[in-house]
């Protein structure tokens, strides 16, 4: 009975926290993006040299990975002649540095964990953007055209309100729509996390995936790649496992794998990239997860 009560309490508390967090951060991000023209973002992605990779990661951290915005933007700037490497830094950073993911890690795991996560994924996206360009990844971009009719594209820019209150209302409506699309994944993640929190013995988790197991991080990174449908599912599970004794490095490896290689995102990338490039991106995300995990265990 005590386990059942703990499970229900965990489910209700984490669901409430993540709901408020998701709506608040999504509204703020949507509001900020209303003041940044899409043309400006494209110009940043078109910069060459070291600054181009840096700006690619910056734009990725500002724009949540969305089927109707990120993929058309990626293909559009590549077809317009933007350098391949910075665009790849953008593609890698966008899901990993999603403002929702960053805010969840900050709220649930603390500021220090969030800063380490951001540093590893941000500079990792820059380095791997360079790597994918130098290894000839540009030849594996498909020659396709993607049309997007979603509300977050330029087609709707004429309907953006001119006053702040109108922008704020439109931002919340957009955030609410996004929340409805991920709600089922969030509830699945919180539900699994609640069961872990209430019923899985702490000694078992510590023995299998604790700090003393050197193979816990690469295994967690492998599990994270195919396991999660959305990052919103991964983070509550990772939080529950960390509270049961899983090393923070293994938890972060799990989250990076889940956030970077979620099934919908891979399906989107496969629509514009050939299999070899998609496989290379999977390998990049896995390497980032492993490196990030060991960095976490070393620092924390």
Task: State the DSSP H helix or E strand holding residue 14, giving kind and residue range, or none if neither.
Answer: helix 2-34
3/28: higher pLDDT = 28
At residue 116, the 3 state secondary structure works out as helix
pLDDT band, residue 130 (cuts 50/70/90) = very high
Please tell me the pTM assigned to this model: 0.74
**Averaged over 124-132, what is the pLDDT?**
91
Q: How far apart are CA 35 and CA 294, in angstroms?
A: 38
pLDDT band, residue 264 (cuts 50/70/90) = low
Whether residue 62 is predicted with pLDDT greater than 80 in this model: the reply is no
Q: Nearest-CA neighbor of 101 among 234, 226, 193?
A: 234
Q: How far apart are CA 74 and CA 125, in angstroms?
A: 15
> Into how many domains does the chain fold?
1
Q: Residue 161 is part of which domain span?
A: 2-299
| C-alpha pair distances (Å), 159 with each of 73, 164, 203 | 20, 14, 56
At residue 273, the 3 state secondary structure works out as strand
pLDDT band, residue 127 (cuts 50/70/90) = very high
At residue 141, the 3 state secondary structure works out as strand
Calculate the CA dihedral of residues 92, 97, 100, 102 and round it to 10 degrees: 150
CB burial readout 67-78, b (16+ within 10 A) else e:
bbbbbbbbbbbb
Whether residue 166 is predicted with pLDDT greater than 60 in this model: the reply is yes
Q: Nearest-CA neighbor of 282 among 273, 187, 34, 37?
A: 273
């Amino acid at each position: 009975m005590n386990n059942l009560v703990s499970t229900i309490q965990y489910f209700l508390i984490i669901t409430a926290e993540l709901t408020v967090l998701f709506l608040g951060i999504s509204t703020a991000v949507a509001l900020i993006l209303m003041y940044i023209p899409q043309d400006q973002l494209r110009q940043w992605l078109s910069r060459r040299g070291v600054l181009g990779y840096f700006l690619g990661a910056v734009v990725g951290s500002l724009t949540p990975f969305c089927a109707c915005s990120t993929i058309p933007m990626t293909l559009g700037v590549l077809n317009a002649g933007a350098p391949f490497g910075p665009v790849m830094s953008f593609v890698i950073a966008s899901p990993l540095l999603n403002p929702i993911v960053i805010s969840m890690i900050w709220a649930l795991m603390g500021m220090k964990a969030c800063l380490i996560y951001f540093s590893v994924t941000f500079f990792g996206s820059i380095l791997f953007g360079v790597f994918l360009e130098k290894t000839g990844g540009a030849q594996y971009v498909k020659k396709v055209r993607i049309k997007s009719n979603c509300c977050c594209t330029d087609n709707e820019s004429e309907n953006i309100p001119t006053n702040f209150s109108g922008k704020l209302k439109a931002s919340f409506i957009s955030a609410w729509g996004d929340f409805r699309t991920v709600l089922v994944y969030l509830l699945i993640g919180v539900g699994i996390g609640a069961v872990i929190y209430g019923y899985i013995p702490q000694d078992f988790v510590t023995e299998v995936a604790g700090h003393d197991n050197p193979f816990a991080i690469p295994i967690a990174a492998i599990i994270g790649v195919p396991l999660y449908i959305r990052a919103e599912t991964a983070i509550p599970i990772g939080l529950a496992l960390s509270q049961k004794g899983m090393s923070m490095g293994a938890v972060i490896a799990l989250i990076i794998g889940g956030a970077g290689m979620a099934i919908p995102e891979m399906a989107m990338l496969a629509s514009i990239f050939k299999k070899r490039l998609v496989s290379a991106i999977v390998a990049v995300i896995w390497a980032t997860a492993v490196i990030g995990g060991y960095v976490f265990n070393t620092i924390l």
